[in-house]
Structure 1
């Protein structure tokens, strides 16, 4: 099994802190599939921002051609942005995926694009992407794995000035029920995370961070508890005394309802509490 991408290092802990927390939004998502082999996927989403009253929506249509290793995705959102993603898997070389990601804003006539490549083996995964704009940035990342240990490196190269624009290093360990992750971003930001599945229905997570120049470090704790197969309860707290809760009720195998809230322990009497509601349907 190939190691994760650099962006997915520590993903278990990240998901514990971010997924299902929709406070401040009313959100509806649907994912459906069609075709004899379910080769066509339709994904829609609508988000209402409670504070501003703004409504945003998006529509994605994905079509797969497995015999040629091609996946085509067309995107549209209410900002009138059109996007096209073409992915080609294992056609140029085994383990190699090449992606063309482009977008177009017809109201202003602006086009952007990016070429991405990913190569994976059992012990190494390499990613790179290059923008198609003037003076593009070349981003390169690699992760190596050995007996549960992970080492990652990420850097960006400015082709216009021929200079490196930052180097990030990550180191971690993955076990059957835990994940440790640490990183250094350009020698300025230091951080670590821990994920532990303490029991079949209990998950625990912790995050630590410090930036050069800050007086104190940042930290956060999170947990997830599943008292029943159709109910998930989550909670988290951080060093700024912000507390958040989320509850997910699986109404059926395809439909789930998500309720979330966030408030500050230091500002309980000042208001500013956030609430969120989400409805997700996946076929």
Structure 2
């Protein structure tokens, strides 16, 4: 990571998107502004390296501030770009083995096939999922089938034209012969802003998010969520901003209607080294004697070579 990497990550929006984002990436710009690079729930250390033959290694260690538990993840990734084949294997400290095989743009342009399997030797528990995604101008669709649970088929699709986006997702239980869940979304993206509306949980929860790139140094986002099944049917609101101090550092701040203020600072220390600090303050309890227990702090450190 060079000293200019942080500022070069400012997203570029396009009114006429050749390929729409996938379902999971609808509203991603607002979500990243409000959630990424504010590590308040613990501490993480991530190391990424790449061997001369192209094999990639990733080691992730995370300590949860609430429970004090430390979890780790060792990942190895092998890619054959000529054949469009990628194999990722990971081993978690919880003794979970995971394999992920990807085949892209071989059978047809824009088609990606995936096979994901997990194994817990201690419990003799296993699971496998087959996924397929296809993207082309104006359309991005995905589907996957959980082979051991149900089996359950989940599919989603997003269509886009002139900046307008419309998406849906549904999950179907083959054994019971019924739809388990369905969700809808709509959005619009322009060169400097994006708006996304979600109807989730069988249209029981509604969310509206907004992203605005004010200029090359400042981004802002807001999100409102309404859960019709919640005991108190209130609208939860959070608003945040991201400001670049220079090409190697930025600060983030967000606050919600519960009075939780989160602050984040990210600095590229040197090429390949990035550090982030996060702090969450319960502004309602700042004057309380036991208010310190409601505050949280954390950090993350990333090495990449």
The TM-score bracket by the shorter chain reads over 0.9
Compute the displacement of 1:215 (Å): 2.7
Paired residue for 1:191, among 197, 207, 223? Answer: 207
SS in 1 for 2:214: strand
SS in 1 for 2:210: strand
Equivalent in the alignment of 1:107: 122
Counterpart in 1 of 2:47?
30
SS at match of 2:168: strand
Q: Say yes or no: does 1:173 pair with 2:188.
A: yes
| Kept in 1: contact 2:184–2:203 (CA 8 A) | no
Which one of the candidate residues 6, 9, 14 is aligned to 2:31?
Answer: 14
Q: Which has the higher strand share?
A: 1
CA drift at 1:53: 2.1
Deviation at 1:19, TM superposition (A): 0.7
Counterpart-to-counterpart distance in 2, 1:92 and 1:162: 31
Write the distance in 2 (CA, Å) between the matches of 1:233 and 1:77.
32
Cα deviation digits, residues 197-217 of structure 1 (max 9, x gap): 101010000001111144311
| Aligned match of 1:87 | 102
Gaps of 5+ in 2: 1-17
CA distance in 2, matches of 1:26, 1:62: 24
CA gap of 1:120–1:215, structure 2 versus 1, over 3 A, is same
1:83-102 Cα deviation digits (max 9, x unpaired): 10000001222211000000
Deviations 1:249-277 (A, max 9, x none): 11012101111010211122222210101
Distance 1:3 1:33 in 2: 31
Runs of 4+ in structure 1 over 4 Å off: none
Instruction: Report the aligned-residue RMSD.
Output: 1.2
User: Secondary structure at the residue paired with 2:32?
Assistant: helix
Cα 1:183/1:77, change in 2 over 3 Å: same
Bigger mean CA offset, 5-14 vs 263-272:
263-272
Indicate which of 112, 117, 127 corresponds to 1:97.
112
Q: How many residues are paired up?
A: 281
CA distance in 2: counterparts of 1:117 and 1:215, whole angstroms: 38
Q: What CA deviation, in whole Å up to 9, does each residue of 1:63-92 have, x standing for no partner?
A: 001111100000011001001000000122
Q: Secondary structure at the match of 2:270?
A: coil
Residue 234 of structure 2 corresponds to: 216
Q: Show the counterpart of 2:300.
A: 278
Q: Distance in 2 between matches of 1:204 and 1:155?
A: 31
Shift of 1:24: 2.8
Which residues of structure 1 form unaligned runs of 5+? none
Higher relative CO (CA 8 A, sep ≥ 6), structure 1 or 2?
A: 2
